[in-house]
Amino acid sequence: MQKTLLVALEDDPTCRIDVFLKHKLPDHSRAYFQELLDQNLVHVNNSLVKKRAIIKPGDRIELEIPILAPMIPTAENIPLEILYEDDALIAINKSRNFVVHPAVGHPNHTVVNALLHHYQGLEGLDIIRPGIVHRLDKDTSGILLVAKTRIVHEKLSLAFKSRQIHKEYLALCYGNPQVKMIEGSIGRDPHDRKKMALTENGKESSSAFEVISYYQGYSLVKITPHTGRTHQIRVHLQAAKAPILGDPLYGIAKINEQLHVSHQMLHAHLLRFSHPITQKTLTLTAPLPQDMLDLQKKLLLQ
């Protein structure tokens, strides 16, 4: 453990302790400091405090910060479903519950660990994410692009950033989207820090919806996101009165329990883009996972 002592000065803001620590130590997130507080590794004026404690000028804050070893991913023999591959890139069908790259809480058993076993010399922005040019949430299945060289990584990253890659998702939803398009800014939910929400001061976002099938209160929806904000599709479908089935944050718990669905029914189905080397148009698709096919059949959404 590394011990750190901070003293709140007169010109420091009077605020919650996690906000204060983020202000003083910006290399870490508020969630990181909240975890330290949960583990009783933070004392204020020699006493343990809760996450909502307010820091005032003159307070002495002592932290015990765990010293972590460098998170260098190692090769692991994990099977990958390859959808497409050439000398420039790989497209895989990521299964649900599969983290893309190592992070705090998930140091191994990730897509990157699997890639390092199957391929040598993948390049990227850093050693933690070799080849990774975009990401899918842990609980979202579907198509994931991986670059084999640095130049391809740079070109694909720019294509994603400049919205030159067309993306389509499929979701099983409760209800029927009331609109064909949602636009608005997305930011942190002021009432629940684990969630995102449509807010006045967030980042611009836009998604288009197309109902493929609908039956007795359930729908199969195709979503075309025009931006890539955190939790964007989940937030937009909730706002469109069609929350994703199984979604633990934005879904309806009672409906999820009735259907015995414990994870979100969201799948990255299609990517269309110009190949970074040949410039030919590539259209890649990932088939629906079996659990979504089974639920689709159960709900009679053909």
> Which positions are annotated as active-site residues?
137
164: helix, strand or coil:
coil
Q: How far apart are CA 102 and CA 135, in angstroms?
A: 12
Please give the DSSP secondary-structure letter assigned to residue 103.
B
Total number of residues shown for the chain: 302
SS3 string, 201-254, reads: CCEEEEEEEEEEEEECCEEEEEEEECCCCCCHHHHHHHHCCCCECCCCCCCCHH
DSSP letter (8 states) at residue 132: B
Dist. CA 231–CA 169, nearest whole Å: 13
What angle do helix axes 17-24 and 30-38 make, rounded to 10 degrees? 130
Helix, strand, coil % over all residues of the chain, rounded to 5 = 20, 30, 50
**Residue 116 host element (H or E):** helix 111-118
